[in-house]
Amino acid sequence: MERKKTMKTKRNWRKIIGIILFVTLVASIVHVTIMLFLSPQEGSSTERHALFKSDYTLMLIQCILGLIVMMVPSFIERKWSIDIPNYMYILYFIFLYCAIYLGEVRSFYYLIPHWDTVLHAFSGAMLGALGFSLISILNNTKSIRVKLSPFFVSLFAFCFAVAVGTLWEIYEYTVDSLLALNMQKYMTADGTPLIGQKALADTMKDLIVDTCSALAISAIGYGINKSDTRADEDAGFLNEEYTILNTNEGDY
């Protein structure tokens, strides 16, 4: 009874945070669409911190993408009958809110020092945890007879997190190239292009932070899995000894 109550509470939190994210993104899309028509073209305003059409275009793309990707976990659950933990939903929704609404719409990427770095560290850890969750689901599926060792579970979680982080950087580069935006922050807030290694700094920093964060979570997960595996082996050994002793007593 207590367990069902706890599960219901977690689902309520997941639903509440999901609704907040959905409403925020929809409201942002409406606001950004209006501002897209009212804002000046880049370079046509003399205001130092003016936002241009390209800025609102980026916000609009990110908000629409946010609405799409927030539905992905539910789609995966329905499509492949995979039960994604509620805490993963909550972390995922919080990340989208911080990255899209606070980061892009509220300009936290420019206003808050290292905001992008913090988010990439968070996403690397979250994706690593998701990798562990996926393997845990597969290991506990009776129809799948593959049991991965703690090392390979950790290796998968690490590679999964780094791969998704890399795909995100490819997405940013593609959008910047096609629409002349600044997702990879190769320009300053006032539109000044960065030169040489400075133009690569944001992308490389993101990849390095993703990798370090994923590695840290993978190492922690390996230690926990190794400890659990050893405990299961010890329990199995004790059960086997107990069975042998009972069998021997029965012989007498």
CA 22 to CA 125: how far, in whole Å? 24
Give the model confidence (pLDDT) of 114-123 as tens digits.
Answer: 999 999 999 9
Highest mean pLDDT among 5-14, 132-141, 240-249: 132-141
Give the containing element (helix H, strand E) for 125: helix 115-139
The domain limits of the chain are: 1-105, 113-235
Give the model confidence (pLDDT) of 18-34 as tens digits.
Answer: 999 999 999 999 999 99
Q: What is the pLDDT of residue 121?
A: 96
**Concatenated DSSP letters of 141-176:** -TT------HHHHHHHHHHHHHHHHHHHHHHHHHHH
Q: What is the pLDDT of residue 242?
A: 47
106 pLDDT above the threshold of 80 = yes
CA 80 to CA 31: how far, in whole Å? 36
Q: What is the pLDDT of residue 237?
A: 46
Torsion of CA 126, 91, 30, 34, to 10 degrees: -50
Whole-prediction pTM value?
A: 0.82
Mean pLDDT score of the chain = 84
